[in-house]
Structure 1
Amino acid sequence: MPSKRQRKGTSKKASHTGAHPGSALPEVKREGASRSDDTTPGSGAAPEEEVEDFRVEPAVPVPRALHPIEPDHPGAYAMSTEDMIGVDSHLSYVTRWARMRAEEERGEVQFRAVRNDGSREALVLLLGLKNVFIRQLPNMPRPYVARLVFDRKHESTTMIKRLPGGEEVVMGGCCYRPFPEQGFSEIAFLAISHNEQVRGYGTRLMAHTKERAKQLGLTHLLTCADNNAVAYFKKQGFSKIITLPPERWQGYIKDYEGIVLMECVLNYKVDYLNIPPLLKAQKMCLLEKLKEVSRSHIVYPGIDVKQMRGVRIEDIPGLQHIDLTKVPPPTAAHGTRSGGASGAKASSAAAAIAAERDPVQLAALHKELQQVLNQIKSHASAWPFLQPVDPQETGAYNYYEVVKNPMDLRTIQERLDGGGYYVNKDIFLADLNRMVKNAVDYNGPGHYITELAQSLQRFYSSKV
């Protein structure tokens, strides 16, 4: 019976999987443009990497929709599924997967399954892996780590990095004990060198371990994880619910206090080394099915609200097919609609919309909103928001790069003067809140502009 595990260690952050060396690699279509990819959250000051925009080919051919809904409006067109998804390089897990796949293709990083067969190569690799475990798992007794790593019944998936001079260095690995007759493997140690953790090799290493388990004919992975490792193993598909029959693992794994027994059920239909192409195929298949029941793929021409001085909902391209009689009526929270209680008393959404278009009620609403807006503009905290932000005058040169939906009191006044924009108080209040949110997001907490914005918000919240 194997000795009990005392502690489990893992890398803190992990990326999504890549492709195994020598396997059939999914095609990646490059778009030609480049951008700066964000660093992994919580990974420290890792350098930004320039990556080309690209699209990942799906793992399997995706059948097209048999009877998609066709455009039925002048100027409308159907968007392709590829364009609906967009480039895949804006997804951080895809860019990491592509980078690690390229590193393996170039031979810069390798993953090898190693057993102590007495050969010099195996002993050197296991010695390097033992040193990684000792450095990364300081609470583990050194003799205990050495005994399990060099145990001939254990096997280790080693992560090897090739240096520019051709020297190979073990940067991490996973040590496990396979039980072929019981159909599972117990993970003893898993760790990545500290300087490689930020690059996301934790999930990469686990993916190779899963594929190796499939080669051995195993169906489950079990591990005894401490509190520091539970979150990592959850991300790798492990669960605290053990579905493996007790008679297949009890007596082989010794349970003890202070750990959590976790299980991962292997799916032989999943290529754990090529998850992004699989997810791409699933997303494309879902969108193709949606094309048969919805118009989400149809792009309609824009409308000029100012020129039309207000637009009826049923006249907006793409909304003509909505049956307003089936839309739930407004709740009590929307009782401020139309400047009175008529919206809340409406028996249906259609009746509420009709009330909002009533010229008498609309005029009364605009008069009320104008009075509120005049009080807001006269407030002592309103001076930074009276006009749109001028980057040259204020020195906020990147303002419109950070704030994508700017709002100010002059724009609100123009919309109110137009007559067709603020058909209820909710829209008016939403613009005011957006103005405040932009100030807080750009300036941050504690800034005097932020404090002025919050002071103004407290004032108008009691007025609207």
Structure 2
Amino acid sequence: MTVAKRSADSEVWEGDGGVAAKKPKLDNVDSVSGATATVTGDSTVGVGVWDSAGPSRSQTAALSSTIDDEGKGIVKFEFDGIEYKFKERASVIEEKEGKIEFRVVNNDNTKENMMVLTGLKNIFQKQLPKMPKEYIARLVYDRSHLSMAVVRKPLTVVGGITYRPFDQREFAEIVFCAISSTEQVRGYGAHLMNHLKDYVKNTSPIKHFLTYADNYAIGYFKKQGFTKEVTLDKTVWMGYIKDYEGGTLMQCTMLPRIRYLDAGKILLLQEAALRKKIRTISQSHVVRAGLPQFKDLDNIKPIDPMSIPGLREAGWTPEMDELAQRPKRGPHHAIMQNLLIELQNHAAAWPFLQPVNKEEVPDYYEFIKEPMDLSTMEVKLENDKYEKMEEFIRDVHLVCNNCRLYNGENTSYFKYANRLEKFFNNKLKEIPEYAHLVD
């Protein structure tokens, strides 16, 4: 369970079931005029761009032969003599059938827009139960914010995103994002984000999205193209987007020539073009007859690999076989990887996900001579630095011991370290092979 938290100089809340980001108190903000619009989706693939030169003639021909299987929501098209299939999300099908629509609204005092905003407010309040209702209402109705809502006709709001645009700075802050609990797993979240990207990109100078995500929201945002690697210069967003305890700043930079509603089909065409190119330089697509030696299973004899049709042409050598049979990872790698993922996803892990920022805690590295964090452990694991499970366990305890050494017993950080370490020890006890390693 995520507990709502609020920092002193900004308003920050997080909770279960939805995405929450904070809103700093600022005077120097870009203004937003009243707006309302209905955004429609177009299933035609040709609007998007899948390479810098634009669609080739063969790609255009493939698109023009697209057939929509109305009964199953499957788009079929032929490329270079091969049939490809693309299954649409349920939300896309519902939009095509006119059952839902995507509206961009803000507080302009019109009756219908206020009804949509109220529906969004109710969903955010329900999906983010630890967030103060007054805070949600204030931001949703704030005229400097815009919202894109998923509306089931005639006027039932099933989810949406509230964001704050900073046109002059070319970025927008996503404040809330949630879908009603009764309407999830239909693909509304992904389809909503694609609509938002296309709308913002085509109606404003905004090129980037920034948001603070709690641990429950990071996975969703990653799937929508957000990353923890923030490349936008701090001078652009510092003071507008304020860091807060327990949140992870994430960024999404939009590609100007991509229509995100068609991204899935564009990628499928990219795959088709890539496979076509591979077929010109390789015979990997050729299906050959089975080896006759295996017809008589009672009299199998050794086979010269070079006599197998297609193997020599593929460039195979005996040395390649030896390399392929070598173990790629140590015997403990998979278990350590699973343990690390569980640690990173634990509710008490957020203070230990990244190295301590020296600028924010200047004296930390004077006290802690051997720093460690979960992201550093992830890099070490990926580079096969842990030869023994004992080395991995030592680093987990080092993370927790460092925290307890620097922070007092009455601090929340000290308690988080104890919780995470207890969780880790209990996980080890569940694995008979390593249970004896628990202190």
1:268 to 249, 256, 277: 256
> Distance between the aligned counterparts of 1:261 and 1:245, measured in 2?
13
For 2:96 and 2:321, the matched residues in 1 are separated by 59
Matched residue of 1:291: which SS? helix
Report the residue type matching 2:273 in the other structure: C
Q: 1:55-454 alignment to 2 at 5 Å?
A: 55-57=75-77, 80=81, 82=82, 87-88=84-85, 94-97=86-89, 99-162=90-153, 167-215=154-202, 216-306=204-294, 312-322=304-314, 327-328=319-320, 330=322
In the TM superposition, residue 199 of structure 1 has moved relative to its aligned partner by 1.5
2:88 and 2:321 map into 1 onto residues whose CA distance is 47
Unpaired runs of 5+ residues, structure 2, are 1-8, 20-38, 46-62, 327-439
Q: Tell me by how many angstroms 1:314 deviates.
A: 3.2
Q: Is the 8 A contact 1:9 1:189 kept in 2?
A: no
The letter of the residue matching 1:174 is I
**What's the secondary structure of 1:273's corresponding residue?**
helix
- 1:320 shift after superposition: 4.2
Residue 3 (structure 1) shift:
5.2
Maintained 8 Å contact 2:305/2:311: yes
- How far does residue 306 in structure 1 lie from its aligned partner after superposition? 4.5
CA contact (8 A) 2:172 2:210 kept: yes
Residue by residue over 1:424-451, the C-alpha shift from the partner in whole angstroms, topping out at 9 and shown as x without a partner, is: xxxxxxxxxxxxxxxxxxxxxxxxxxxx
How far apart, in 1, do the equivalents of 2:96 and 2:312 lie? 53
Code of the aligned partner of 1:284: A
CA distance 1:129–1:329, shift in 2 (3 Å):
closer
CA–CA separation in structure 1 for the residues paired with 2:138 and 2:16: 17
Contact 1:8 1:190 in 2 (8 A): no
Note the C-alpha offset of 1:22.
5.4
| Structure exhibiting the larger radius of gyration computed from Cα positions | 1
TM-score if structure 2 supplies the norm length? 0.56
Distance 2:15 2:105 in 1: 20
Distance 2:102 2:198 in 1: 11
- What residue identity is the alignment partner of 1:4? E
**TM-superposed deviation, 1:7:** 2.3
Q: Sort the Cα spacing of 1:330 and 1:312 in 2 relative to 1 into closer, same or farther, 3 A.
A: same
Is this contact kept in 1: 2:194–2:260, CA < 8 A? yes
Q: Secondary structure at the match of 1:170?
A: strand
State the SS of the aligned residue for 2:169: coil
In 1: Cα distance, 2:125 partner to 2:216 partner? 16
Does the C-alpha gap of structure 1 residues 281 and 9 become closer, same or farther in structure 2, counting only changes over 3 Å? farther
Distance between the aligned counterparts of 2:308 and 2:68, measured in 1?
37
C-alpha spacing 1:331/1:125, structure 2 compared with 1 (3 Å): closer
CA positional deviation for 1:264: 0.7
CA contact (8 A) 2:16 2:130 kept: no
CA distance in 1, matches of 2:197, 2:239: 23
1:96 CA drift (Å)? 4.3
TM superposition shift of 1:304: 3.1
Shift of the 11–109 alpha-carbon distance from structure 1 to 2, 3 Å rule, reads farther
User: What is residue 4 of structure 1 aligned with on the other side?
Assistant: 11
Counterpart amino acid of residue 313 in structure 2: H
Aligned residues: 275
Contact 1:241 1:262 in 2 (8 A): yes
Retained in 2: the 8 A contact 1:130–1:146? Answer: yes
Note closer, same or farther for the CA distance 1:287–1:172 as it changes in structure 2 (3 Å cut): same
Deviates more, 1:114-123 or 1:321-330: 321-330
2:401 is matched with none
Name the TM-score, length of structure 1 as normaliser: 0.54
Counterpart-to-counterpart distance in 2, 1:230 and 1:206:
14
- The amino acid that maps onto 1:29 is I
Task: Select the residue among 67, 78, 81 that pairs with 1:29.
Answer: 67
Contact 1:115–1:154, Cα closer than 8 Å, also in 2: yes
Distance in 1 separating the partners of 2:227 and 2:246: 17
Write the deviation string for residues 138-186 of structure 1: whole angstroms up to 9, x where unpaired: 1111111111001111000001112xxxx42001110000000010000
Q: 1:31 to 1:153 in 2, by over 3 A?
A: closer
